[in-house]
């Protein structure tokens, strides 16, 4: 069962952009290693405000190497994890595979938080080999962009949470 809501006209569009960088030979010799690079783990994308509901609508990904180089150099499959920081709760049940570059893929998900200082976070894992055509490229960068709609309405938030609670069998919170 799913919860479907129409976004109200006052929903605010937030566009985020995150760049993940994997230097060559660090920490894995002969590789561009996103998995063991601290700057690619638990990267804050957006601070989640209490009493707001967020709808992740679209995602795009691209990099500083050609898509052909990206695909041919995959050693350990690139995976993007999206989670909330306080409870380390995943937004999606499984990571999003970055199988190629894409623009405007639908990635529908609802996110909210009751806590202050809670953030939407990315972690990126994957290892790329250096191809002959990549000699001289000091680091590989992958940019991930999200289009998120923020609904900052107490009424909408309460209605959304009550409907969600009913759909999973919890008692109405009113």
**What whole-number percentage of the chain has pLDDT above 70?**
92
**Residue range 144-169: mean pLDDT, rounded:** 82
What is the average pLDDT value for the chain, to the nearest integer? 89
Task: Please state the separation of Cα 94 from the chain's center in Å.
Answer: 12
Tokens encoding 17: 């952009």
pLDDT digits (tens, 9 = 90+) for 55-94: 999 999 999 999 999 999 999 999 999 999 987 789 999 9
pLDDT digits (tens, 9 = 90+) for 8-29: 888 999 999 999 999 999 999 9
Contacts of 60 (CB under 8 A, 6+ apart): 102, 103, 104, 105, 144, 145
Query: Is the pLDDT score of 171 beyond 70?
Result: no
Q: Are 126 and 35 in contact (CB under 8 A)?
A: yes
Contacts of 120 (CB under 8 A, 6+ apart): 44, 45, 46, 47, 48, 54, 82, 83, 84, 85, 91, 111, 148
Place of tokens 């290693």: 33
Torsion angle, alpha carbons of 113, 150, 95, 104, to 10: 180
pTM for this one? 0.86
Query: Is the pLDDT score of 3 beyond 60?
Result: no
Closest to 16 in 3D by CA, of 44, 40, 37, 36: 44
């Amino acid at each position: 069962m799913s919860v479907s809501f129409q976004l109200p006209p006052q929903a605010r569009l937030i566009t985020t952009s995150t760049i993940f960088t994997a230097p060559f030979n660090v920490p894995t010799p002969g590789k561009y290693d996103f998995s063991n690079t601290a700057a690619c783990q638990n990267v804050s994308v957006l601070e989640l405000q209490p009493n707001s509901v967020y709808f992740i609508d679209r995602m795009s990904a691209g990099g500083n190497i050609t898509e052909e180089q990206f695909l041919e150099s995959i050693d350990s499959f690139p995976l993007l994890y999206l989670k909330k920081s306080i409870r380390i709760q995943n937004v999606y049940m499984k990571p999003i595979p970055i199988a190629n570059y894409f623009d405007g893929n639908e990635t529908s998900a609802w996110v909210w938080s009751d806590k202050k200082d809670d953030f939407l976070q990315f972690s990126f894992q994957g290892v790329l080999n250096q191809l002959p055509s990549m000699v001289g490229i000091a680091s590989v960068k992958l940019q991930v962009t999200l289009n998120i709609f923020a609904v900052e309405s107490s009424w909408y938030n309460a209605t959304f949470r009550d409907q969600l609670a009913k759909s999973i069998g919890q008692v109405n919170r009113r």
